[in-house]
Amino acid sequence: MTRSGSDVAQAASGPDDPELQEAIREVEIQFSNLFVHAKQLFRRRALGIHPDLSILGYRILGTVVREGALQQGHIAERLELDKAVASRTIKHLEDLGLVERAADPSDGRAFLVTASEVGRARYDAVSQRERAVLQARLTEWGVEDLHRFSDLLGRLMDGLDVRHGE
DSSP string computed for 124-143: HHHHHHHHHHHHHHHTTS-H
Sequence-ordered list of residues with C-beta below 8 angstroms from that of 92, at least 6 positions apart, any chain: 52, 54, 57
Q: What is the pLDDT of residue 3?
A: 46
Number of other residues whose CB lies within 10 A of the CB of residue 23: 12
Query: pTM, whole model, 2 decimals?
Result: 0.76
Q: Return the pLDDT at 161.
A: 65
| pLDDT tens digits, one per residue of 58-115 | 999 999 999 999 999 999 999 999 999 999 999 999 999 999 999 989 887 888 999 9
By CB neighbour count within 10 A (0-12 exposed, 13-18 middle, 19+ buried), where does 120 fall?
middle
The DSSP symbol for 69 reads S
Local confidence band at 157 (pLDDT 50, 70, 90 cut-offs) = confident
pLDDT of 6 > 60? The answer is no
Residue extents of the structural domains in the chain: 33-160
Task: With residue 75 as reference, give the H or E element that holds it.
Answer: helix 72-78
What pLDDT is recorded for position 165? 46
Confidence of residue 21 (pLDDT cuts 50, 70, 90): very high
Write down the CATH number for the domain with range 33-160.
Answer: 1.10.10.10
What pLDDT does residue 162 have?
A: 60
Residues 69 and 112: beta-carbon distance below 8 Å: yes
Percentage of the chain with pLDDT > 70? 89
Classify the phi-psi angles of 8: left when phi > 0, otherwise alpha if psi is within -120 to 50, otherwise beta.
alpha
